[in-house]
């Protein structure tokens, strides 16, 4: 039986975000602790009620799906399959190794399904394009040993990474890491400063617009949504994302990134003056603000303790939600 991302996630007993996210975020102050976890960074699905009847097993009709500019065809059953990579534009990248293109049933999903053949990923996981092979392999090891986990244990993407890391072979991990390290991180996210954002909800592991005509205050949030949700769900690598951030975030973020916000060094000291990485730290310019927010909070809460974590503890210790929103929004706005 094929395992899809949607069906797998329903097994993870995730929770639904409370209403009035904008009002709750707006009520936070610059000194508020990062607690509870921001739903916009840790998107989880509603739980299945304990007394709910199981849905009738009726396989959906397998419709042919296409994306603009591609001659490829995948069915509506293939696209959500964790062991299928919809490769709409194979001419735009080199040959994918089996670990990226196919995975290995039942516990090693294809890396390219979630991170995409271009390595740019989606807000619920991570952009891995352009990370060094050694860094990727170290993260896999950290997931395996428990040194790296999520502050939200029900977050599906991390749950799958932990499960995968315990089953993947060293050869499979190395081939995937080499592939993604050889890709170039390209501009994937438009950052827009604003006071108000469309109403959103958690759906398919990310924030999704529910009513584009109705807006609410952005508060102290980053709202990262698809440019085109349908194309995102088809895993079209030509359809990226918009990240809305509060007005003034980019200027504040630049100051925090270039000057030490706490007791530790400034971001530029380890990640490079252009924030495109050094021998001791990964590139962080142009990556997903949702994903980077999770990493800062996970470091802050002691849920990332792998290689390099010690150097992150002091810089993130006293960051507020306002700080994190500004830092990640600014980093996402930069050219990779």
Map residue 290 onto helix, strand or coil. Answer: helix
- pLDDT for 148: 97
Cβ atoms of residues 275 and 324 within 8 Å: no
Taking the alpha carbons at both ends of the chain, their separation in whole angstroms is 40
Q: What 3-state class would DSSP assign to 2?
A: coil
pLDDT recorded at residue 45: 73
pLDDT value of position 214: 96
What pLDDT shows up at residue 58?
53
Please tell me the predicted confidence (pLDDT) of residue 20.
45
Give the phi and the psi of residue 309 in degrees, each rounded to 5.
-65, -35
Q: Please, which residues have CB within 8 angstroms of residue 178's CB and are 6 or more apart in sequence? A: 97, 133
As beta bridge partners, residue 4 has: 81
pLDDT of residue 7: 44
The domains found in the chain, sorted by start residue, are 28-44+187-333 (1.10.760.10), 61-181 (1.10.760.10)
Which two three-digit tokens encode residue 89? 């534009």
The series of mean pLDDT values per 10 residues for the chain, 336 residues long, is 46 41 46 71 79 60 94 97 98 98 96 98 96 97 97 94 97 98 97 98 94 96 98 98 98 92 80 95 97 98 92 92 97 97
Q: Is 175 exposed, middle or buried (0-12, 13-18, 19+ CB in 10 A)?
A: middle
pLDDT confidence of residue 54 = 57
How far is C-alpha 28 from the chain's CA centre? 24
Contact call for residues 99 and 174 (beta carbons, < 8 A)? no
The reported pLDDT for the residue numbered 272 is: 96
pTM higher than 0.75: yes
The span from the CA of 244 to the CA of 332, in Å, is 11
Identify the pLDDT of residue 308: 86
Assigned token pair, 247 = 């007005």
Q: What is the CA radius of gyration of the chain?
A: 19
- Residue 62, pLDDT score: 85
Residue of 20, 17, 67, 22 lying closest to 42 (CA atoms):
17
Written as one string, the DSSP assignment of 140-207 is HHHHHHTSB--SSTT-HHHHHHHHHHHH--HHHHHHHHHHHHTSPP---EEEEEESEEEEEEEETTEE
Q: What pLDDT sits at residue 31?
A: 43
**In whole angstroms, what separates CA 44 from the centre of its chain?**
12
Q: For residue 245, which phi and psi values (nearest 5 degrees)? A: -130, 155
Q: Where are the beta strands (DSSP E) in the chain?
A: 64-65, 74-75, 189-194, 196-203, 206-217, 223-226, 241-246
Q: Kindly report, residue by residue over 107-134, the tens digit of the pLDDT.
A: 999 999 999 999 999 999 999 999 999 9
Residues whose CB is less than 8 angstroms from the CB of residue 218 and which lie 6 or more positions away in sequence, other chains included: 22, 25, 26, 194, 195, 196, 197, 244, 245, 246
CA distance 303 to 295: 9
Report the distance separating Cα 331 and Cα 336, nearest Å.
Answer: 9
Taking the C-alpha atoms of residue 131 and residue 117, their distance in angstroms, rounded to an integer, is 14
- Collapse the DSSP code of 217 into the 3-class scheme (helix H, G, I; strand E, B; otherwise coil) and give the result: strand
Residues whose CB is less than 8 angstroms from the CB of residue 303 and which lie 6 or more positions away in sequence, other chains included:
148, 149, 150, 151
HSE-up (13 A, CA, CB side) for residue 83: 10
């Amino acid at each position: 039986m094929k395992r899809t991302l949607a069906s797998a996630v329903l097994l993870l007993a995730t929770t639904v975000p409370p209403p009035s996210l904008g009002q709750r975020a707006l009520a936070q102050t610059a000194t508020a602790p990062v607690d509870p976890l921001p739903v916009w960074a840790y998107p989880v699905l509603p739980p299945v009620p304990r007394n709910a009847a199981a849905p009738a097993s009726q396989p959906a009709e397998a419709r042919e799906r296409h994306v603009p500019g591609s001659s490829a065809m995948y069915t509506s059953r293939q696209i959500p399959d964790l062991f299928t990579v919809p490769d709409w534009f194979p001419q735009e990248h080199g040959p994918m190794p089996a670990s990226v293109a196919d995975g290995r049933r039942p516990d090693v999903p294809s890396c390219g399904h979630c991170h995409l053949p271009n390595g740019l990923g989606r807000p619920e996981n991570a952009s891995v394009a352009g990370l060094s092979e050694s860094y990727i392999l170290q993260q896999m090891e950290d997931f395996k040993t428990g040194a790296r986990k999520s502050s939200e244990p029900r977050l599906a993407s991390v749950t799958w990474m932990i499960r995968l890391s315990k089953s993947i072979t060293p050869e499979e991990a190395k081939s995937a890491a080499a592939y993604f390290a050889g890709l170039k991180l390209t501009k994937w996210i438009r950052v827009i400063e604003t006071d108000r954002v469309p109403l959103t909800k958690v759906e398919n592991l990310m924030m999704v617009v529910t009513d584009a005509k109705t807006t609410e205050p952005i508060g102290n949030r980053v709202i990262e949504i698809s440019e085109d949700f349908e194309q995102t769900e088809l895993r079209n690598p030509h359809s990226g994302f918009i990240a809305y951030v509060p007005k003034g975030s980019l200027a504040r973020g630049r100051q925090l990134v270039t000057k030490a916000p706490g007791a530790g060094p400034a971001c530029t000291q380890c990640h490079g003056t252009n924030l495109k990485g050094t021998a001791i730290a990964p590139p962080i310019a142009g990556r997903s603000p949702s994903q980077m927010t999770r990493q800062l909070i996970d470091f802050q809460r002691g849920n990332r303790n792998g290689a390099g974590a010690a150097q992150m503890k002091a810089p993130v210790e006293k960051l507020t939600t306002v700080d994190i929103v500004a830092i990640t929004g600014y980093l996402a706005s930069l050219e990779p």
